[in-house]
Amino acid sequence: MAKKVLKFGGTSVGSIDRIIRVSKLIQDETKKGNKLVVIVSAMSGKTDELLSLSKSISKDFSDRELDVLVTSGEQVTASLLAGALNKLGIKSRSLMSWQIPILTEGKHNNSRIINMSTDKINEYLNNGEIVIIPGFQGISKIGDLTSIGRGGSDATAVAVAKLLNTDSCEIYTDVDGVYSSDPNKIPVAKKIDKISYEEMLELSSLGAKVMQSSAVQTAMMYSIPLHVKSTFTNREGTKIFTEKNIDYSKVVTGVAYSKNDAKITLLGVQDKPGIAAEIFEPLGNARINVDMVIQNVSSDSKTTDLTFTVKREDLEESLNIIKNNKKVHVKELSHRTNLSKVSIVGAGMVTTPGVTYKMFRALADEKINILAISTSEIKISVILEEKDTLKAVKKLHNIFELD
């Protein structure tokens, strides 16, 4: 008998028929004698529908009320699933975040879980009940509902698994595991049976949508084994765990890409200590995430050119912040939006020379121009023209024998 957290994403509970399917999957788990805590997302499309309703009221809908609104989607799913399980004769109850409670800190629409009372949950589990918890939310110290950001149900599942000290955390979705690339765009992409936390963290932060990156990071910090499975098939899925269990014979594990990048270049910036901090501090204060940073110092060592990337939705605000920054004098400010980021990820890169050359030669053979480069021990990312994205992904997928 094991204590498990099962998390079901929006597509898994996207209709009444699918909720009933999930209830029968949970029923199979109960027959094994397992104690289950179930985390649910909103039904697919529901959060966007709720956001649209808020915009129909006001473009400046208050953050506090927006959290009250959008967290209702997960609460509806929790109730419906509890009802479906009770109909099957399985004792179940939904518990809202304020009933547990799940405590969060941080701003509305982007908070994080810091603690949770486990007494009530353990009491119901010991009585043979299944506890269903809405993901994506908690309550602040002053009792306000807060959301954890898009994809936050993954973070809820991992936090609950940690605080309840469960034996496993299983993430159910509409795909049967983590793939070497997007199987919808790369039909020859193959399922990865085992992947390290580090690799999964890189892939999720680079555009792979199977899991939220902050959830993977939490799992890695506390060594919580994760298992990504499909609600709709019986395939084994993908296990995510510590690096020591990974096979390093495969140099590159996956190829990820995103088409939501913009590049900003500052020409003729004074080259002096602290100038980078003066540029990036206001962007950080505005909660704008800066990705790649490239700096070229002039031959006279008096000025420098600085290039960095941000998400496209942050471009206009980023440019305004730079233009209004009186502490930084820029000779010329330029930007581009028709860009994408393509990355290769693999723990095997650490011990394998020549990976960088092989990647760049492959792109050159396809006449793809690289506009920016970023590397880590297990990742190489490049910025290129958006029109070249799929051509680059397919070439890299093939050259590193991932087909």
For residue 101, say if its preceding peptide bond is cis, omega within 30 degrees of 0. yes
From CA 83, how far away is CA 76, in angstroms rounded? 11
Burial of 309: CB neighbours in 10 Å, binned 0-12, 13-18, 19+: buried
More confident residue, 204 or 172: 172
283's CB contacts (< 8 A; 6+ apart) are 290, 310, 318, 321
- What is the CATH architecture assignment of 3-174? 3-Layer(aba) Sandwich (3.40)
The two tokens of residue 155 are: 């973070």
- The pLDDT, as a whole number, for residue 263 is 92
pLDDT digits (tens, 9 = 90+) for 96-127: 999 999 999 988 888 999 999 999 999 999 99
Percent of the chain residues past pLDDT 90, beyond the cut: 59
- The pLDDT, as a whole number, for residue 174 is 87
pLDDT digits (tens, 9 = 90+) for 145-192: 999 876 789 999 999 999 999 999 999 998 888 888 888 888 888 888
pLDDT digits (tens, 9 = 90+) for 184-194: 888 888 888 88
369's CB contacts (< 8 A; 6+ apart) are 384, 385, 388
pLDDT digits (tens, 9 = 90+) for 71-94: 999 999 999 999 999 999 999 999
pLDDT digits (tens, 9 = 90+) for 312-337: 989 999 999 999 998 888 889 999 99
From CA 164, how far away is CA 160, in angstroms rounded? 6
Q: What is the mean pLDDT of residues 124-143?
A: 96
| In the predicted structure, residue 249 carries a pLDDT above the cut 70 | no
Angle between helix 389-399 and 355-365 (nearest 10): 130
Per-residue pLDDT band at 207 (split at 50, 70, 90): low
Q: Residue ranges of the domains in the chain?
A: 3-174
Per-residue pLDDT band at 40 (split at 50, 70, 90): very high
